[in-house]
Copies of this chain bind each other. A is one copy, B any other.
Amino acid sequence: MTKAPEKAPHRVTLEDVARRAQTSSITVSRALRRPEMVSEKLRARIAEAVTELGYVPDPAASALASRRSNVIGVLIPSVTNSVFADVLAGLYDTIAGQPFNAQLGNTRYAPGIEDALIRVFLGQRPAGLIVTGVDQSPVSRALLEAADCPIVQIMDLGNAPIDMMVGFSHRDAARTATEHLIARGYSCPAFIGARMDPRSERRLQGFRDALAAAGITEGARVVTTTTPSSVALGETLLAQLLAQAPETDAILCNNDDLALGVQFAALRRGIAIGPELGLCGFNDLEVMAAAHPSITSVRTFRREMGKLAIEMLLARIEGRDPDAKVRDLGYALMPRDSTRRDRA
C-alpha cells in the first residue's frame, strides 16, 4: 500500500451534519461551541448526527474564521532536559481534555531562534503563549508585549512581567541551599555550574549572597561552563574545582545531573560524600532521594509550574481573571545524607 498521494477522502463538514440533523450548519456550529444557545431537542439530534457521521471539526477553518487558533505555544530552551520534561508533563496533563493544543518550540538557548519562533507562533494567532524565563531579548519582548493573547513567563520571577508569571526565586533557593551547607559545618563551599543560563547565574548570585552573609571568602571555588550539563561533566568539573581549590569541603551544583556526577567521581576517588565533602544538587530529581548516599537537593515544583501556567492561560482565555498575575511557587530544601558530616 502506498499512501502519500491518494485522493483526499470526502471530509465530513458542518453542512453534512446539518443536513442529517435537518438544521443549518451555523446551528450545528453553535451546538458544539455554545450548547446553551441551542434547544435541547435539536442539540440531541445534532449530537447523534455528529456521532453517526464521525464529524471532526477543522481547526484551520475555525482559526481562519474566528481569527483565533486553539494553539497554545510553548517555548522552552531544551527538550531533553528533564527539568523541562517535568514542566511539560504537568502542562500536557492539564491541557488534556481542554479544546486547546500545546505546540512546542525549542529555542535551544538562542535568542535569535526565540525571536523567530515567537513570530511564527504569533502568526498562528495563538490562544496563549508560554515562554521560559524573564530574560527575553528586546525584540522578543516587544513582540510579546504587542501580542493580543495572554502570556505566561515560567521558571523564574522578575519585576516586569510581560503579562503573567509563574516561577520561583533561583537566587533565594541557592542562597538557602548554601546556608544549609554552612549550617552543617562546611566552611569552604564551592559552586559548580554547567550551561550557565540566566537562571543559573542567579543561583550563583544566591550562593555568593550566602557566603558574603557568613563572611566566607569565595576564593577560587566557583567553576562554571556553558557546556550543556551531564552526569559525566560532574566528574570533569569536580576535578577542575579540586585542582584549583583543594580546600573545598562542600559543593553546590547548579543541577542534579552534575551532583550525581560529582558523587560518582567522589566514590571513584575515595572521597566520602557527607563527612569529607558535602554535596547539594538543584531541582530534586527523583534519583536524588534514591541515590546512595542520598543527595541533598533543592526541590522545585516543575509539574505544578506547567499546570499553573495552563490554568492561568485558561482563566484569561475564558475571560476570568487568574488568582494572581505573578505566582511564586517557592522551593523546598531536602536535606539528605550527602550533607551530613556525621554519616556512618
Contact = CB atoms under 8 A, between A and B. Distances in A.
Chain B CB count within 10 A is highest, among A6, A54, A92, A163, for A92
Contact of A60 (B64, B79, B101, B260): B64
Interface in A159-195: 163
A151 B54 CA distance: 21
Interface residues of A, number: 68
How many copies of this chain sit in the oligomeric assembly?
2
A286 B56 CA distance: 42
B319 A5 contact: yes
Interface of A: 1, 3-9, 54, 56-61, 63-64, 67, 69, 79-80, 82, 85-86, 88-89, 92, 96, 101-104, 106, 119-120, 122-125, 145-151, 163, 230-232, 234-235, 257, 260-261, 264-265, 267-268, 286-287, 289-292, 316-317, 319
A124 B88 contact: no
B85 A80 contact: yes
A317 B1 CA distance: 16
Q: Which 3 A-B pairs have the closest CB atoms?
A: A56-B123, A60-B63, A231-B290
Nearest to A95: B106
Nearest to A302: B80
B232 A261 contact: no
B3 A286 contact: no
B106 A104 contact: no
Contacts of A119: 54, 56
